[in-house]
Amino acid sequence: MEVLLSEGKSAQLMAEIVEKFDQASQNAEVIVVEGLVARSSETYADTLNADIVQTLGAEVILVSSMGKGDVGQLEERIELTSQLYGGCDDPKLLGCIVNKLNAPVELSALGSILPEPPRDIDDPLSGEDLRQQSTVFSDNFKLIGAIPWQADLVAPRSKDIADFLGADVLFAGDLADRRVNEVVLCARELANMLEVLRPNTLIITPGDRDDIITACCLAALNGVPLAGILLTSGYPPDERVKKLCAPAFETGLPMLLVETDSYLTASMTSRMNLEVPIDDLGRISNAMDAVAEHVDKNWLKTRCATDLEPRLSPAAFLYRLVSEASAAGKRIVLPEGDEPRTLRAAADCVKRGIAQCVLVGQRDSIERVAETKG
């Protein structure tokens, strides 16, 4: 994709997208195409999304979140993005799903990779509140869903962090099942760290801090399901400590070991990508259930049952033309066979299976030009 865009071959890219769409839509009633998320390294994402919508003649549902702003700032973002698709009044722009409603803005202390679980909010927003307070939503541009924040839906497994850090697993326990809601760097005195021994907390500590390791194990034996203990600086625990703490590991408490120091390890976890891994079926299922519970299902069913009048975009027309030409299997004769543009067209025809090409001209001259043009 990036190669075609850099070479100015956006038409070819759209034709390939139409081809993949055509293959995926066989025997399907509804196709959902997830747009690219714009990042600093992919500034073309928004424009490419709009081109794909135009090419496929697709209808559009925007997805946004409140972030650190208020309802007015959310409206501004929606209206700005909608301009790529003709504005909120354009019939192909159906509405918006607002995600992570009432998400906490604050982050935990050093080493935390996740916002803290939701605290009491004085005036939490509901979907109905959002609909009433905003002027951007209407019968033509609907608020299709308002998904409330749930910390568990962005909580990785202890296994995911172990994989991300390349950690050695000293005790696996429930590594694949325990969730990490908070990561805490602990290097303080024992009495000053007891309050961080909470469920779903991953404790990062130097491997030679036997007192902290023992305290974590005592918490596990008392029924606190820590996400795990992550030892740093390459120091494994003393064998006598491991023997003393063996009953705690039998409760499912994972223990990991990395070579990096505590500060760097905590810093690395803060940069971890929290997207859902493809094998995290539990988190995927929970996210699907949460979304399904808070979207307008009746509207979606009605919309999916609506027949759309197909519109043949230039890219779709080109794809259909190429498909029919390939099926016909014709031979075409191209004069001026040593003209570089003719040679390039012939090469494309062969590569894409469009036709068999015969070049008219002197063989030596044609081969020489072909070689110089690669």
Token digits of residue 350: 């062969």
Identify the burial level of 81 via C-beta atoms within 10 angstroms of its C-beta, where 0-12 means exposed, 13-18 middle and 19 or more buried: buried
Within 10 angstroms of residue 70's Cβ, the number of other Cβ atoms is 11
Alpha helices in the chain (DSSP H): 2-6, 10-24, 45-56, 71-82, 127-133, 158-165, 210-221, 239-244, 246-249, 262-269, 281-294, 297-304, 314-328, 340-351, 363-372
Report whether 141 contacts 96 (CB < 8 A).
Answer: yes
Q: Give the pLDDT score at 312.
A: 66
Closest CA to 52 of 91, 99, 92, 6: 92
Token digits of residue 157: 């497994």
What integer is the mean pLDDT of 150-163? 90
Q: For the chain, what percent of residues have pLDDT higher than 90? A: 39
What integer is the mean pLDDT of 147-165? 90
Name the pLDDT band for 17 (thresholds 50, 70, 90): confident
Calculate the alpha carbon distances from 67 to 75, 96, 105, 227, 274 in Å: 12, 15, 8, 27, 16
In sequence order, which residues have a C-beta less than 8 Å from that of residue 8 and are 6 or more positions away?
none
Higher pLDDT, 311 or 366: 366
Q: How far apart are CA 335 and CA 354, in angstroms?
A: 18
Identify the burial level of 137 via C-beta atoms within 10 angstroms of its C-beta, where 0-12 means exposed, 13-18 middle and 19 or more buried: buried
**Phi/psi of residue 231, each to 5°?**
-90, 140
Closest CA to 282 of 143, 102, 159, 163: 159
Name the pLDDT band for 359 (thresholds 50, 70, 90): very high
Q: Are strands 168-171 and 255-257 parallel, antiparallel or unpaired?
A: antiparallel
Domains of the chain: 2-106+117-150+277-304 (no CATH), 158-269 (3.40.1390.20), 329-372 (no CATH)
Mean pLDDT of the chain: 85
pLDDT in tens, 41-80: 667 888 889 888 888 888 999 999 887 778 888 899 899 9
Calculate the alpha carbon distances from 41 to 37, 44, 45, 269 in Å: 11, 9, 10, 21
Q: How far apart are CA 241 and CA 229, in angstroms?
A: 14
Per DSSP, the chain holds a count of helices (H) and strands (E) of 15, 10
- Range scoring the smallest mean pLDDT among 188-197, 248-257, 306-315, 342-351: 306-315
Q: How far apart are CA 200 and CA 225, in angstroms?
A: 6
In sequence order, which residues have a C-beta less than 8 Å from that of residue 148 and are 6 or more positions away?
100, 101, 102, 290, 294
For 17-55, letters b (16+ CB in 10 Å) and e give bbbebeeeeeeeeeeeeebeeeeeeeeeebebbbbbbbb
> Tokens 């990395």 map to which residue?
258
Using only C-alpha atoms, the chain has a radius of gyration, in whole angstroms, of 28
pLDDT in tens, 307-331: 776 666 777 777 788 888 888 889 9
Q: What is the pTM of this model?
A: 0.71
Q: Say if residue 230's pLDDT is above 90.
A: yes
